[in-house]
Amino acid sequence: MENLIEELTAKNKEYIHSVTKQLILVGKSDEEVKAILNDILPQIIEGQKSGIIARKLLGAPTEFVQQYQPKVADKPVNEKNENPGLMWLDSSLLFLGFISLLNGVMALFTSNSPVYGFVTVILSAAVAGLVMYLMYRFFYRPKADGVRQKWNWKGFLATTLSVLLWIAVTIFSGLLPVSINVQLPALALIIVGAVALGLRWLLKRQFNIQSALVAQPRR
């Protein structure tokens, strides 16, 4: 190899020196560098005979060395967690946070605003979370995946029953005595709503939970 380098012009020697440095930077061993140089030196010398410099023949040193850089494996897709229990909890906390905040803010600024009892809010949020999950499971997810369904009677039945359960829970829990179904003050409702949304955010970050409101196509 040394004999071949001696045959190079000054510009081509400088080119080889730059290529060698770049190859070392990308982690090539001495043996690998020598093998690469032994492969390109005859081409460069042949090009010299026609007045073609190495840079024009092989490209800039950094461009030439790119082909020898280790390939970075594709980053795995960060798939959402579709665990039914976690998705139900995520939806329930969202509903609990929204209703509590809305109730609290309205009660704070309007003295005669109706306020739901805490048991009603908790039970309604839990069933609402179930409704949202079933909508995702039977309608949003198949649509996002491009699955054509003529009539999803199971999904329709399950969602309808859960909506009826939601209405029933809201109505009958409202009939509970105030000693059980306590009406929290406005500030307490706002705190409950903020805590629910904060807990939802933490769980979503920790477990990467798929939202029941949006469905991304599976890869």
pLDDT-derived band at 1, boundaries 50, 70, 90: low
Whether pLDDT at 152 is above 70: no
Q: Does a structural domain hold residue 213? A: no
Both 53 and 139 in a single domain? no
- Give the domain extent around 145: 84-207
* Closest C-alpha among 96, 78, 97 to residue 208: 78
Positive/negative CA dihedral, 64, 69, 73, 78: negative
166-210 confidence digits (pLDDT tens): 788 878 877 888 888 888 888 898 999 999 999 999 999 899 888
More confident residue, 116 or 141: 116
Query: Angle, nearest 10°, between helix axes 186-207 and 84-109?
Result: 150
Q: Encoding tokens for residue 150?
A: 């003529």
pLDDT-derived band at 91, boundaries 50, 70, 90: very high
71-89 confidence digits (pLDDT tens): 655 444 457 788 889 999 9
- Indicate the number of domains in the chain: 2
Q: Does a structural domain hold residue 73? A: no
Tell me how far apart the alpha carbons of residues 23 and 118 are, in angstroms, rounded to a whole number.
Answer: 68
Both 108 and 64 in a single domain? no
Both 33 and 136 in a single domain? no
Whether pLDDT at 59 is above 90: no
Both 142 and 181 in a single domain? yes
12-31 confidence digits (pLDDT tens): 888 888 889 888 888 888 88
Tell me how far apart the alpha carbons of residues 159 and 153 are, in angstroms, rounded to a whole number.
Answer: 10
Whether pLDDT at 34 is above 80: yes
Q: Among 20, 40, 68, give the residue marking a domain's end.
A: 68
Q: What is the pTM of this model?
A: 0.56
pLDDT the model gives residue 193: 92
Work out the mean pLDDT of the chain and round it to a whole number.
Answer: 81
Least confident window among 64-78, 112-126, 128-142, 169-183: 64-78
- Tell me the average pLDDT across 34-50: 87
Positive/negative CA dihedral, 43, 44, 50, 52: positive
Whether pLDDT at 217 is above 90: no
Whether pLDDT at 165 is above 80: yes
154: exposed, middle or buried (C-beta count within 10 Å: 0-12, 13-18, 19+)? exposed
Q: Does a structural domain hold residue 78? A: no
Both 163 and 57 in a single domain? no
Q: Tell me the CB-side half-sphere exposure of residue 117, using CA atoms within 13 A.
A: 17
pLDDT the model gives residue 109: 82
pLDDT the model gives residue 145: 47
Both 88 and 64 in a single domain? no
CB atoms within 10 A of CB 203: 16
pLDDT the model gives residue 137: 80
